[in-house]
Structure 1
Amino acid sequence: MTESMAERLKIASQGQGIPLVFIHGWGLNSAVWQPCSAQLQTDFEVITVDLPGFATNNLVQLEQYSLVEIANAIIDAVGKPAVYIGWSLGGLVASQIAINHPEQVLGLITVASSPQFIERDNWPGIKESVLALFHQQLAQDTTKTISNFLKIQAMGSPHIRQDIKTIRDLVMQHQQPARQILDDSLSLLETSDLSEQLAGIKQPFFRLYGKLDGLVPKQVIALIDELAPNSQRYIFEQASHAPFISHQAEFLTILKNWLMEHVI
């Protein structure tokens, strides 16, 4: 990747302390982290990044829209060791960063994420037909597709309507990504499989899940326990796919306690 391309990836930084880099999920942008960021920046440097093609980085183009290229671009933009926190697709990106750039990662936290999202053989996940439908819908109406995806993410939450509204209000502050970028990043969810590489992650590794998550089924948690035996995990009993929105206070308490114990 060229140096100029790396420089074009914008990040936002607030607060001081150990850097926490937050990476958003598919179809959304870094604004989803605003409520958490406001609470964390008194104790940490909170860095948020939009994936290439999204929001503040909507003009950034990669030679290849792959986890490795995205990981390289983010590492170049951040430029110093940090704790990486990735939600959903962002968890795949953060995991790839920990695998490829271990010296730049003080800790890895994945939120409602999986090393492979697609249902395969004995691996629970999203049915391929569901993502195929999203690809079709993207060709017709991108905004409606993202809206439908938000509904799936909040499904199971005790306050589903409020969660959807909160996320939508946050992400709509920014321009929506182009259809091609949405298509390319959706393909990452379909094709990525980091399961065999999780055991190689030697940094402190914390996995957070929602028990009611429809995209990362709870059955997958025990499988990942075996793949990443050195990691810790926490399950939000009443949360679905966005515990940092639906259960913000609990999320921040669990996050800070783990950071104090394992990183600081």
Structure 2
Amino acid sequence: MTIDNIIELLNNKMPKNAIWLGWSIGGLIASRFALHYPKNILAIISVASSPCFIAKKNWPGITKCTVYRFYKNLKTNYYETLHTFLTLQQRNLINSIELKKIIYSQNKPSIKLLIEGLKIICSVDLRLEITYIKVPVLRIYGAMDSLVPKKISSILDDKCPDTYSVIIEKAAHTPFISHQKEFCTILLNFKKLLLKY
């Protein structure tokens, strides 16, 4: 399944004029959707996401080697890899324990699904196209996120119209879990801003 297959499916299922919130790879999918169907989306909230996850010249990101290593670890020891990832991302132990219980109660995703996600992260680069998004975009970053560096926010703020960036201090790749109250306040403020349009 390619990113374009995904947005075609979503276009048939999602309500029109909705605010799309995409976390990590979901932010990439929401951005691609907005580029293809600008009249079917009201705004985007991109959380711990990037138009290009892989590091390039003058672009912060992660190496393909890091992505492949994470994938290999998920493939060989799924739950231990998730545990390590969540431990690194969480400062709030109670929320972390609750999240782990939810995740561990679910079935493991198929290897095929992991491969498809890996391909999207490694191959999709929307850095040029992102400037053509015609809807308001809120980008939320964690200051301590090692996967999506906060430096991306200033690059995109300079290039993209109707873009608002917020960096949550002491948050990493899952700010909606580690900083729930602050995260929700940011969302509500963005909604109020949209109502003024």
| TM-score clears 0.5 | yes
Change (3 A) 1:158 1:138: closer
Deviation at 1:163, TM superposition (A): 4.5
Contact 1:110 1:207 in 2 (8 A): yes
Partner letter of residue 167 of structure 1? Answer: L
Structure richer in helix, relative to its length: 2
Counterpart-to-counterpart distance in 1, 2:112 and 2:195: 38
Give me the CA root mean square deviation: 1.8
Task: Summarize deviations over 1:63-91 as a string: whole Å, max 9, x none.
Answer: xx111111111121124321100011110
In the TM superposition, structure 1's runs of 4+ consecutive aligned residues that sit over 4 Å from their partners are none
Deviation at 1:263, TM superposition (A): 4.1
1:229 aligned onto 2:161: yes
Matched residue SS, 1:233: strand
Segments of 5+ residues of structure 2 without an aligned counterpart are: none
2:128 is aligned, of 196, 207, 213, to 196
Deviation at 1:183, TM superposition (A): 1.7
Aligned residues: percent identity? 34
Structure 2 equivalent of residue 119 of structure 1: 55
Structure 2 equivalent of residue 75 of structure 1: 11
Counterpart-to-counterpart distance in 1, 2:111 and 2:95: 24
Task: Summarize deviations over 1:28-54 as a string: whole Å, max 9, x none.
Answer: xxxxxxxxxxxxxxxxxxxxxxxxxxx
Contact 1:142 1:179 in 2 (8 A): no
Matched residue SS, 1:238: coil
Structure 2 equivalent of residue 179 of structure 1: 111
Matched residue SS, 1:84: strand
Counterpart-to-counterpart distance in 2, 1:251 and 1:130: 28
Structure 2 equivalent of residue 108 of structure 1: 44
Deviation at 1:247, TM superposition (A): 0.7
Contact 1:138 1:145 in 2 (8 A): yes
Contact 2:18 2:41 in 1 (8 A): yes
Higher relative contact order (CA 8 A, sep 6+): 2
Counterpart-to-counterpart distance in 2, 1:124 and 1:162: 31
Partner letter of residue 95 of structure 1? Answer: S
